[in-house]
Structure 1
């Protein structure tokens, strides 16, 4: 597989292109307002040392005054570029288009409300990928910017592994706020699925990478600090829950799960949505997931990536299911986690 040939976005400021055909890493930052945080993220990326890298900022519709602030942050820079995409493609589509601009061997995605924990964080991530050739991606530890504590809203792994947040372990996904991907694996797996727009896009990519015989490695010693900005975020009473449910059911269908096997998960999501006052979002997500699945037509070349091999199933069982337990236990945990939120409301 390979990435599509995307239209060239409008160049706003900074370098006209990458530094050359062979360098260590591209740092990609998606922008949609949040100008102050994004400028800080750009500065953090440009301050990374001990590595050849280029910073790409892809704007997806910021207000003119905010776009001007971003342009000022990279004006005249030889190591950074600001472009504006033709529309808001979401996280999945935006990352695809930003990634396609570069040629670095590693792609580090940094949220625009996050910063590298230290000046050599990027170099650490690249060295980690180079040290283990079968790794497709490095998942960083995500810390709360203000306190340095673990950002529990960005913990995408089994709850039982949280006490090991400072350690390293194989995983079945990674968190978008800060992660590194080997470019050759990103391209071989076909990048992200634009249709997801937002939510679960990392898991969807990881499944294909795992099916290619690659690993995902959580590194608690490589961190980014996350501000968890509220501006322009999907609120749970907006569309976030809709995307969460729709995309997770769609991914199940993509990888061959039958509707009967997905119904317990779907019903559990409806109960959780009802408890938290967003039942209508979850109900709308079901038909939308079916519509996406019907429209999904992998080519013969792509189709094998969506049929999980026994080796991939064993990897998922060892590194995720074994830590979570069976479906009844997971459903119970989801519902119990929702109850305090309902009580608070």
Structure 2
């Protein structure tokens, strides 16, 4: 398939999702870098054989979302669109997102509307973003954000790398929060633009809900320790721990990993903390 916009590379990070990759990769309308997280199901070999135009980077171990950072470093285009092994950008959306970023120099990333499944229902997280209570940034289009969904996001490569990309402490899932806070702290705007669309057909090979809750709680704990003012960090950790036994277990694991987070502690500026508090109250 011809590239839709030569300013864009699509980065896909995956592990043990061979069939999903073989189904989704042909739908991408840009050069693709697949970063394989040490799959054991032959994903990398299968993609190399079936999709020779895809650049495959094979990692010797599973590094979670850091694989996306590896892909962004390998890209040479000014903008990088992320996709999961079960998602792809709708026709025209890669070009529209790139044009949006090119036309707004303060914009660090654009998050698209997610349509789920063959029925194309709007993902509830997209509905939340569309109703964002944050003040409108007059220098950026769409709705102002302080977070994003990686598989539906195009980033300005330079901003992403300057903010450190996805880190080795959080890894996956829940990797977006710390990066969003750091982008905001560096003065980058983030926007949800509803006319830019990503399709997501959830893979049948998914984590059970309890495992997902555990991972999100762990990530929230580590991000709080790395970036939030102490009062906000304590409140966040308590709130997450109270949600379910799985969340509580994730918080405990996050606290076990606290030394790594605290070595990287850099509290966000007051104005970013105030934006986050507004979202929490909302």
Structure 1 consecutive aligned stretches of length 4 or more whose deviation exceeds 4 Å: 154-162
- Residues 1:58 and 2:26 aligned together: no
- Residues 1:209 and 2:209 aligned together: no
CA–CA distance in structure 1, aligned partners of residues 193 and 151 of structure 2: 14
User: Which residue in 1 is equivalent to 2:262?
Assistant: 294
What is the TM-score normalised by the length of structure 1? 0.71
Q: Aligned residue pairs: how many?
A: 270
Q: Unaligned regions of 5+ residues in structure 2, if any?
A: 1-5, 134-140
CA–CA distance in structure 1, aligned partners of residues 185 and 251 of structure 2: 31
User: Could you say what secondary structure the match of 1:191 adopts?
Assistant: coil
> Which structure is larger by alpha-carbon Rg, 1 or 2?
1
CA–CA distance in structure 1, aligned partners of residues 270 and 235 of structure 2: 23
User: Which residue in 2 is equivalent to 1:123?
Assistant: 95
CA–CA distance in structure 2, aligned partners of residues 149 and 26 of structure 1: 26
Distance 1:149 1:308, change over 3 A: same
- Residues 1:42 and 2:13 aligned together: no
User: Which residue in 1 is equivalent to 2:166?
Assistant: 192
User: Could you say what secondary structure the match of 1:100 adopts?
Assistant: helix
Q: Unaligned regions of 5+ residues in structure 1, if any?
A: 1-22, 298-305, 331-345
Distance 1:102 1:261, change over 3 A: closer
Distance 1:312 1:43, change over 3 A: same
Q: Note the C-alpha offset of 1:323.
A: 5.2
CA–CA distance in structure 2, aligned partners of residues 143 and 218 of structure 1: 14
CA–CA distance in structure 1, aligned partners of residues 262 and 187 of structure 2: 27
Greater Cα shift, 182-191 or 240-249: 240-249
User: Which residue in 2 is equivalent to 1:97?
Assistant: 70
What is the TM-score normalised by the length of structure 2? 0.85
What is the Cα-based RMSD across aligned positions, in Å? 2.6
The one of 235, 252, 263 equivalent to 1:284 is 252
Distance 1:208 1:40, change over 3 A: same
Residue by residue over 1:10-47, the C-alpha shift from the partner in whole angstroms, topping out at 9 and shown as x without a partner, is xxxxxxxxxxxxx51211011212222212321111xx
Q: Note the C-alpha offset of 1:291.
A: 2.9
Residue by residue over 1:105-151, the C-alpha shift from the partner in whole angstroms, topping out at 9 and shown as x without a partner, is 00111111012222x22111101101111000001111102211112
- Residues 1:177 and 2:161 aligned together: no
Distance 1:282 1:155, change over 3 A: farther
- Residues 1:28 and 2:11 aligned together: yes
Q: Note the C-alpha offset of 1:155.
A: 4.4
User: Could you say what secondary structure the match of 1:228 adopts?
Assistant: coil
Distance 1:279 1:104, change over 3 A: closer
